[in-house]
């Protein structure tokens, strides 16, 4: 495949364009999607018109409810929620309705819809615009959760999400939106539920989510200079979770560290740690180390915000702890 480097924003926008051209049932709705506040939907209205790129009122529950109704009657909507925090406003419809209608209707109804949403801390946006809430959506049955960390993954996962017959939460960390990376010009898909080994190693398995993948890779380079080789795994989707790739890594490292920007309490790291205890206990030579945000509202101060979420230094210390080289 031919390669060129484009931004995360461009990769997502290309996924929209290709899927909307491929399938006339795909449409986009949300607040200011015609303007494209973060750039991912910019220009779509010029090509596809206002009937397929629909500005909505400031009411997330109504927007997601409209999308669910459209999905259940044969359309393939993509809802853009302007900030990930606002997903809580539509939680009843997302968690109690969208994910479960296929089951409770005995297969008569599906909900092929995507909720695309920027998330994460990016320097002083405050408690209501900075949270990473991916783990909140791994609990309700029937939902899928995608957390891409590169432009390549973003495009391939979004195309797969739009084609999926289940509701998919698609989280884009705002710190990654301007990141550039290689993306093929040819069409490709990344299956939901397929992790990626971003860096091979022998000493510790480090599972990192979304923007923390980049921190994990930089921490791994620092640790390599100390003689520690860390295997960095990006799950790419939290549901479905590619446990097989993580387990294969653990079979050679026997040590596991999990890092996310979501809160540590009740987070993805807690779930993966419990999975490791339940299913892979014989392959653990040390307690699992997990890093996440503290259970407090994220401050407006960039300095205090940085203190609340895992840093590269925190990851280095966690790896050394799991190796027994640091108290």
What φ, ψ does residue 120 adopt, rounded to 5°?
A: 90, 165
DSSP string, 149-169: -SHHHHHHHHHHHHH-SS-EE
A 10 A CB-CB count for 325 gives 11
Looking at 222-326, which runs of residues are DSSP E strands?
230-234, 237-239, 256-263, 289-293
Query: In terms of Cα–Cα distance, which of 195, 166, 150 is closest to 107?
Result: 166
- Please tell me what DSSP assigns to residue 264: S
Q: Which residues are identified as catalytic?
A: 129
Structure tokens at 254: 């026997």
Q: Give residue-wise pLDDT tens across range 171-223.
A: 999 999 999 999 999 999 999 999 999 999 999 999 999 999 999 999 999 99
> What is the C-alpha separation between 323 and 203, in angstroms, rounded?
8
Judge whether 80 and 34 are in contact, CB under 8 Å. no
| End-to-end alpha carbon distance in the chain | 47
Per-residue pLDDT, 49: 97
> What is the C-alpha separation between 209 and 235, in angstroms, rounded?
7
Q: Which residues of 111-122 are buried (b: 16+ CB within 10 A; e: fewer)?
A: bbbbbbbbbbbb
Per-residue pLDDT, 124: 82
Per-residue pLDDT, 251: 97
Q: Taking the model in full, what pTM does it have?
A: 0.96
How many helices and strands (H and E) does the chain possess?
A: 11, 14
Per-residue pLDDT, 34: 94
Per-residue pLDDT, 327: 58
Query: In terms of Cα–Cα distance, which of 242, 249, 235 is closest to 202?
Result: 249
**Which domains, and CATH codes, for the chain?**
3-184 (3.40.50.970), 196-322 (3.40.50.920)
Per-residue pLDDT, 242: 98
Per-residue pLDDT, 243: 98
Structure tokens at 261: 């920007």
List the chain residues with pLDDT less than 70: 1-2, 327
Per-residue pLDDT, 1: 62
């Amino acid at each position: 495949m031919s390669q060129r480097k484009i931004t995360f924003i461009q990769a997502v926008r290309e996924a929209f364009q290709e899927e909307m051209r491929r399938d006339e049932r795909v449409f986009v709705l949300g607040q200011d999607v015609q303007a494209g506040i973060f750039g991912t939907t910019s220009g779509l209205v010029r090509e596809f018109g206002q009937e397929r790129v629909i500005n909505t009122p400031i009411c997330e529950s109504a927007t997601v409810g409209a999308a669910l109704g459209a999905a259940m009657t044969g359309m393939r909507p993509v809802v853009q929620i302007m900030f990930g925090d606002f997903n809580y406003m539509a939680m009843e419809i997302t968690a109690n309705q969208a994910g479960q209608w296929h089951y409770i209707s005995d297969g008569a109804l599906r909900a092929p819809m995507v909720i695309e949403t920027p998330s994460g801390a990016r320097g002083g946006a405050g408690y209501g615009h900075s949270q990473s809430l991916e783990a909140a959506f791994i609990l309700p049955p029937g939902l899928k959760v995608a957390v891409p960390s590169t432009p390549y993954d973003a495009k391939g996962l979004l195309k797969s999400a739009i084609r999926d017959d289940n509701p998919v939460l698609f989280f884009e960390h705002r710190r990654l939106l301007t990141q550039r990376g290689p993306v093929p010009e040819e069409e490709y898909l990344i299956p939901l539920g397929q992790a990626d080994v971003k860096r091979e190693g022998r000493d510790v398995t480090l599972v990192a989510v979304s923007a923390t993948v980049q921190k994990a890779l930089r921490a791994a380079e620092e640790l390599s200079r100390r003689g520690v080789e860390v295997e960095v795994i990006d799950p790419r989707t939290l549901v479905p979770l590619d446990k097989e790739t993580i387990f294969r890594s653990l079979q050679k490292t026997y040590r596991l560290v999990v890092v996310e920007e979501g809160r540590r309490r009740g987070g993805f790291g807690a779930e993966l740690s419990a999975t490791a205890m339940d299913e892979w206990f014989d392959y653990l030579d040390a307690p699992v180390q997990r890093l996440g945000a503290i259970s407090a509202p994220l401050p407006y101060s960039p300095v205090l915000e940085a203190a609340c979420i895992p840093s590269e230094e925190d990851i280095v210390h966690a790896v050394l702890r799991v190796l027994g080289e640091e108290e």
